[in-house]
Structure 1
Amino acid sequence: MVGERKQEKDVKREKVRGAQDKGRKTERKGQKSKRTECADFTDKPRIFPAEVIAGKPVDISCTFDTTCNGTAPVLTWDTPTDVSGSISNTVTQHGVTLTYTSVLTLTASLKHHGQTLTCRVRYPSVSSERTLILTVQYAPQDLSMTSLDMINASLINIIEGNSTVIICSVKSFPASNLTWRHLNVPMNRTSSNNELWLVIPHVTSRDTGDYECVAENEHGAVEGSITITVEHAPRNLSMTSLDMINASWINIIEGNSTVIICSVESFPVSNLTWRHLNVTMNRTRSNNELWLVIPHVTSRDTGDYECVAENEHGAVEGSITITVELIICCVESFPASNLTWRHLNVSMNRTCSSNELWLVIPHVTSRDTGDYVCVAENEHGAVEGSITIIVEHTPQNLSMTSIDMINASWINIIEGNPTVIICSVKSFPVSNLMWQHLNVPMNRTSSNNELWLVIPHVTSRDTGDYECVAENEHGAVEGSITITVEHAPRNLSMTFLDMINSSSVNIIEGNSAVIICSVASFPASNLTWRHLNVTMNRTSSNNELWLVIPHVTSSDTGDYECAAENDHGAVEWSITITVECRDSSEWTAGLLTAGIMLNLFVAGILTFVYVRKSKTATEERVAEISDIELSPSPLTVKHQGKQNMLLTDPRNTTREGETSAPQGSL
């Protein structure tokens, strides 16, 4: 920039000097009519600066004006040694003034920024020159980010609570606009400055993540990123298990296994330790998660368990209590009693001469729900007591019943009648049930194992599949049933290519005719074509019937009735055929045309009927679906040791959203 301002001042001085020279030349014009020989001069050449962009060719001009006669001056360039370029020289004359111009074409690079470029004019005995300082413009490059907390070029590690400063710098000309971003949100920015500071006065764990610095000027952009990690003491310690009653209590039946997971948030990662009765059970180093596994729980495992997490910045611990459930029948007697456990009046186990007897159910299922009786007896008498076990399980044995059922998955109803379908399920706790049709809920109930679907007035629009979904906290099951609605024939129609309107057909004598009678009904109707009260053709259990007249004559003129009938009613419609006569001279052409038209028409009708029959068969087909088989899924034992006990059914393997595969078809 300094070089450019200096050149501008030189240009102004040259202009003033040129004006002065012009005045002197005018005064001498009458005295001298030709140029003089140059033995000495003080003028310097002029360089016209151009915008120099790195990597792009540019033309820089140097000119020298003279009125001297004799030997011509030579213009030369002094350039940096490794600048590639070419030179072209020209001479122009304006009156007695000769203008010598040299154009240097060069391609500069970033390393030439600040170097000099000299244009020299030389006579045999004297010379002068002018120097230009190169100002090379270029896109941002060599972006770097520095901080006192840097681990490497892309990672900063800071202790929580400290402050940090990250400096983003870049090389560019002109200077760049810089921006710091985090999570795609600009944090701060600067204009026309090749350096930008990011200051975080109080670092927290939320400041962890990637930070991008973007530098941009008119020639391009560059960006880089750096990752901040925040060191902090362990926190948010938690312990989880499938057997948890609440955040600090686990209830397990003796003989079962359990897994408790202790996890923590920290950086660097913590050393974790499980302890019970102040004895270390297991530990891990540099890991924020530690599992405590007890493969076979006994009553000796009852008690508090502590998990301790520790790193160089601090420590945290938490505890959880394990209780082990047993069903023990004990009695006071002397001599010792004979004890017996019974269920459904069947002896399960017994002991002789012992005042204590354990009831062990190694694998609880829903069939174990019920009352259990313990009887103690010695030679002086007997006593007994009972306890109730309730097993929690997913919904199972879902069924749908109705007085209109054809089979387990199909209900057939006459239009206009009401219907009731009852969906029931076995589950504990009781399920939330819902009926839905076309994926739209129709009704629902909460905490009830039975739900009624009532349709007070059935119409043909009620035809379709209906799903019942049962769900509780342990899983879900669903089943479906199909409703078909019987109704009398309706929407009877007759179609023909030559129809004038819905009740009239105009046919040229000698042509053929096909009229199709169709109707909507369920079950399918018996259709009949009649003419002059004479039956022409009929079909059974088919909602479509064709009337074919291969060669129409005048005697075919008249009314034709189509009647449709099923168990629920009948409907009929008539159509009038009018036969037009034609001249004998037209018969040949007419017959040929009629034959072609008949072929095309019959082909079209056959295609139409095939598609229509396929659609009708699909609509009337009812799939038979076999009874849904449900199986329970494993769930954890709940409370035990009181008069009412909740267990879970581990045999249940039905997952939420699954149903049994359909069997059979209608």
Structure 2
Amino acid sequence: MFTAFYCKVCPVGESDCLKLQIRMKVFMWATLLFSVRSSNADTGASLDRTSCHNNSCISLIEGEITAEAGLCVVIPCSFSTASDFTAQNLVWFKCEPSKPKSTESHIIFHSNKKNQNVHPEFKQRVSLLEPEISQNNCSIIINDLKESDSGSYWVRVKSSMPGRQSGSQQVTVSVKGLSQKPTVMIPPLTEGHQATLTCTAPGLCSGSVPEITWTWRRAGVNDSHITGNITDFKAENLTVVTQRHSSTLTFDPSPEHHGTEVTCKVRFTGNMTTEETVTLNVSYMKEVKITGKTSVKEGETLNLTCSVESFPPSFVMWTKLSEQNMQNRTEANLQKDTEPQKQTGMAALSISNVTADHSGQYICTAKHLNHTLKKQANVTVTFMRNPSITGNTTVIMGESLNLTCNVQSFPPTIIMWTKPCPTSLHNGTDTDLQTNSGSATLFIPEMTAEHSGMYRCIVKHMDTTLHVLANVTVIWFPKILSSSGCEVQSDVLTCVCISEGLPLPTIKWPLLENHTEYSVTTTVSNHTVNSTIILTVNHVNRSVECVINNKNWEVKQNFAIRKSLPVQQGG
């Protein structure tokens, strides 16, 4: 609080003293407006001081006034005069220790503009707050301050009558180094929406116009002037003696601007500078990216990461689009817990021991402010089940062979039939090979004995090859050939039973069960078996039975015994 004036120090009338007090308080608040403070403001000392001489009084602020270089300072002052004293000029002086107080070379301001004795250092820098002297206001503002402006100042009021002047009053001003910084206002920054930054210079001074420049810095890059953008300077007259100086920077924010530092630098007269640096936060969102292998083998682990560069960080989540979901136009949420995820800008999808059921379309959804982006990942699980052969591998000769080799897999396998040498398989009149993805059919319309044997199904799936064997058996109904028969000569019986069949038949002679001495000779040629028996008989039956068998079928035939005459000896 400022202390009140005491009328006892005023030799003028009480009403004039009261007016002086009111004016002085107004000037004190003006002082605060210019960021000037008294060094005694915190001590409780009186902030006003009045000096009178010949019925004329001058009031100044009590204590030291502090200000900063490059800015300005207001020295509040008011005066009152006797009724016969007409104020004509106001003169302000700066005290120099090496010079007497009365020397006019110390003049820093003279209300008479024709006066040429104003010190060069103060010309054009000092002006009255109130140009009309009749208002009893002797307050001044000093612009473009320098630290050398520190010192004591005093004022004198001169009358229109030669030789008459008021007494003097002194005040101390201390100019420190510039510490105030400019004010930078940043609106919300959004990618693609033009924005304007505003930098306001400190102080509200009407002296020299400061120079305001903008620079910016990216990580690892030196300061550089901003190019390709619009800057504008503005000076606002707030009062007759106060101005606000500002500069605007208009540009189109982009993701590259996010996190960069922008500096507003203000340069005042005397090369005194001050600056303020701010960091730009630009709201932006880049494209959604999915990393990881979308094709995995059954039993492995699926690891996919969805990320999006943005500010602020986006909320990212995974969903799966199943066939049922596709019909309902919905997606299954893969988030296991019910707690909301943090907005980290990324989400990991991990499924261990995958199966074919995990194949499908996975959707990454990124939500950023009022925007939503989606990206799909088609996941395929590669697998191969054990191959199988369907069809009858035992075929009656003359009928057809129809075998199919198939296997469930993804991607589909390549299947082919082969038969080991010497017989090879190829499409033709006797063989039809139908090879498809996932299955292959072997068809032989009329099977012969030569078609019996091992057939190989070869399954090729990616980098894996499997072989499955099929043992094909052609069944040939056994029969006894007409060249079979029996004959007896003397007491020796000879029987021959010739049979064909597949598998090769076995030949039995029931007659031999009652004999202990006989001979049996068996020969095999291709698919023909020849069995010959020779034995001695005392009496001859009318017929002899031959029994042939090849596991599934049995054939019996009785041979009539032919009698053979003895061979006549020549003589």
TM-score tier by shorter-chain length is 0.3 to 0.5
Q: Per residue, is there more strand in 1 or in 2?
A: 1
Q: Give the alignment's TM-score, normalised by structure 1.
A: 0.38
Whichever of the two has the greater Rg, that structure is 2
